[in-house]
Amino acid sequence: MSEGRESTAWGEPKYSMANEVRPNALTPLLNVGFYNFVPTHKIVALVRCDSAPIKRLVQQLRHEGTRLIDATQGRRTRCVIFLESGQVVLSALSQETLAKRLLRFELALSDDEKELTSEKSSDSAPNPLEKP
């Protein structure tokens, strides 16, 4: 074993997330109900589950058992969320509620971006009270 590296009782190196470089340290998440979250940047569509084709697709995915994530906690499915990865999430919340949450998040994000750009522009502007 090299010095400075921690290891488990079996001699395997301990995994530490502290040293890991993560470009998206705070990924924005959408609460799809009952404290189940989906990354907002992975959402492709929010669809009502009333139509027959969507119901057939959900039943097919249930039978397949690999790409379906049921976040309804046993309640009636009101919205089907399609993700970039091909996975499908079932939610007990309506797509209107989820869309409002997404919009609220995007507005907050755009406000934060505006604040950051205004801070950068104010930092780069010369201070008239400062002596050269």
Which pLDDT tens digit goes with each residue over 73-126? 999 999 999 999 999 999 999 999 999 999 998 888 788 777 877 776 666 556
Conformation bin of residue 11: beta by default, left when phi > 0, alpha when psi is -120 to 50? left
Q: Are 49 and 81 spatial neighbours (Cβ–Cβ below 8 Å)?
A: no
Residue 33 has pLDDT above 70, yes or no: yes
Q: Is the pTM of this model over 0.75?
A: no
39 pLDDT above the threshold of 50: yes
